[in-house]
Amino acid sequence: MFVRLSGLSFSYTDSVSILNDVTLTLATGWTGVVGPNGAGKTTLLRLIAGELEPTAGHVNLDPPRGVIRACAQTVEAMTLEIAAFARATDGVARRLHGELRLDAGSLSRWPTLSPGERKRWQVGAALGAEPAVLMLDEPTDHLDVEARELLIAGLERFRGVGIIVSHDRALLDRITRYTVRVYDGAARIWRGGYSDAKCAWEAEDRERFAEYERLKHQRENLARRLADKRRLAMSAEAEANAGTRKRMKFRGDHDATSMFAKGKARMASARISRDAAVLRASVDRVSDKLGEYKFHKQKGHSIFVDYLPAPVAKVFTLDQDAIYAGDTQVLEDVHLAVPRDAKIRVAGPNGIGKTTLLAAMIRGAHVAMERILYLPQELTARDGIAMLDAVRDLNADERGRVLTLVAALGIDPDRLLESAAPSPGEARKLAMAYGLGRQVWAMVLDEPTNHLDMPAIERLEEALIEYPGAMVIVTHDDALSKRCTSIEWRLANGRVEVRSPSS
């Protein structure tokens, strides 16, 4: 089975093109799709699924009548496909129910299911259709370690063409054979999982930059030689003109020597002019080649300038015999403290009470709420619009600081301010920038990498490593946690165990 994209282009408006002349062949097995937010990853999936009509080019399946299933990034409503999969009793459905640990009876309380549970139902229903082409958009968002392993095991057994948009580096390295990088309107395929593919394109980028620097040096040398030739040409012309004026002064001087000198000066001037023209053409040719190179300026890294630490030793304390979610007790005997420079990961299965613990912890804050950045697991579209409006209403100094932080997290501030609403990834970056721009003393982050592109996650890691305040983070991204935290709160059996992340 193959998916072939031939000269595929798409734009939402005549002036803004998302994808240009994309030609790819995707074979059986998993292919990862990566790139910045807004680059066109989800658009590419929708084009393959037939949900969007390309402005040019076409998508072909080989063989042509295979079933295509696509799983969107969000799972809010229970679909007819999920309901049918829950009722199904065939061998495939029963196997997937067991492998993904799905209980059909749980669908009656769909609104209260965790995002991770809903995601397993969504992917399970897609796998149950036994598609020839399966496309997944961020399938491991919200999944705990156990659920993630269950899902990955199911994906590894899939034998069709799998296309996966994800920021989960471990997932991509584990199951994908190829990586498509969507960037600047192009989509290029690389051999290997994300880490190997990234090494390959970074090596190519280094070679391109080295060639760019070589051409710049060549142009500088040619320009110097051209300047020298022009000075010589001016000198030869001046010498020829001086000889002419001298001969005009002594009109009787028509001897062969003077005529020879005149001709020689003119020939030298013409030769130098020809050499200068050749050099000018060479300079133009090299300049044209340089114009073919385009490099993106690296956004700033450090976003914690002039940080002032919290005036208290502990920004949060929690001393409770029990913590409840509604009328249900989820944790007991909870006695925790967060020093002003602590870096803590909250870990445990979905539904065990991590988000509830964060809410209780914030209620026990010893600093003002405006000095705490709380980033929930999901931001609504309304939240994003409200945040954007809040940034626009800041005074010039505060807005400048926040937008500097926005740029450091990989967003073009001018484009963001001109937009009607930020994307989910942009909204999360904007929320973090808005809080950090106010010099927060504590960051409470619930799955901060949700909806972020891979470059942004890698920049976020560096920012969190540098952050000097208190940080409590819920994340299923093991790579980020290992680099950014030194303490783990592990939730299990209704209690919180404090330990190092590696224990």
Mean pLDDT to the nearest integer, 44-60: 91
For the chain, the 3-state helix, strand and coil shares in percent, each to the nearest 5, are: 45, 25, 30
Residue 86: what pLDDT? Answer: 92
Radius of gyration of the chain (CA): 32
The CATH label, of 2.60.40.420, 3.30.310.10, 3.40.50.150, 3.40.50.300, for the domain at 314-499 is 3.40.50.300
Neighbours of 69 (CB within 10 A): 20
Segment holding 6, helix H or strand E: strand 2-11
Distance CA 256, CA 312 (A): 100
Least confident of 46-50, 424-428, 445-449: 424-428
Higher pLDDT, 39 or 249: 39
Please write the tens of the pLDDT for every residue from 353-391: 999 999 999 999 999 998 999 999 888 888 889 989 989
Please write the tens of the pLDDT for every residue from 303-319: 565 678 899 999 999 99
Give the pLDDT band (50/70/90) at residue 113.
Answer: confident
Higher pLDDT, 113 or 252: 113
Neighbours of 1 (CB within 10 A): 16
Q: What does the buried/exposed string (b/e) look like for 138-166 if buried means 16 or more CB atoms within 10 Å of the residue's CB? A: bbbbbbbeebbebbbebbeebebbbbbbb
Residue 331: what pLDDT? Answer: 94
Is residue 224 over pLDDT 90?
A: no
Is residue 320 over pLDDT 50?
A: yes
Average model confidence (pLDDT) across the chain:
84
Residue 294 region by backbone torsions, left for phi larger than 0, else alpha for psi between -120 and 50, else beta: beta
Q: What is the DSSP letter of 105?
A: G
The candidate with the shortest Cα–Cα distance to 437, out of 485, 393, 397, 380, is: 397
Residue spans of alpha helices (H) in 57-190 = 80-87, 91-99, 115-128, 145-156, 169-175
- Please state, for a pLDDT cut of 90, what percent of the chain lies above it: 38
Give the pLDDT band (50/70/90) at residue 266.
Answer: low
Q: What is the DSSP letter of 453?
A: -
Asked if domains 2-184 and 314-499 share a fold, the reply is yes
Give the pLDDT band (50/70/90) at residue 473.
Answer: very high
| Phi, psi values for residue 42, rounded to 5° | -65, -35
CB 165 within 8 A of CB 33: yes
**Domain assignments of the chain as residue spans, ordered by start:** 2-184, 203-291, 314-499
**Does pTM surpass 0.85?**
no
**SS3 letters for 467-502?**
CCCEEEEECCCHHHHHHHCCEEEEEECCEEEEECCC
Q: Considering the domain 2-184 in this protein, what is its CATH number?
A: 3.40.50.300
Q: Residue 263: what residue type?
A: G
CA dihedral 147, 153, 155, 156 (to 10 degrees): 160
Output the CA–CA distances (angstroms, integers) from residue 285 to 15, 52, 465, in the order listed.
30, 41, 46
Mean pLDDT to the nearest integer, 317-328: 92
Residue 24: half-sphere exposure toward Cβ, Cα within 13 Å: 25
* Extended beta strands in 294-341, E state: 314-325, 328-339
Please write the tens of the pLDDT for every residue from 4-20: 999 999 987 766 678 99
Least confident of 367-376, 406-415, 470-479: 406-415
Please write the tens of the pLDDT for every residue from 154-183: 899 999 999 999 888 889 999 999 999 998
Our CA angle for 106, 111, 112, nearest 5°, is 70
Is residue 299 over pLDDT 80?
A: no
Residue 363: what pLDDT? Answer: 93
CA dihedral 463, 468, 474, 480 (to 10 degrees): 40
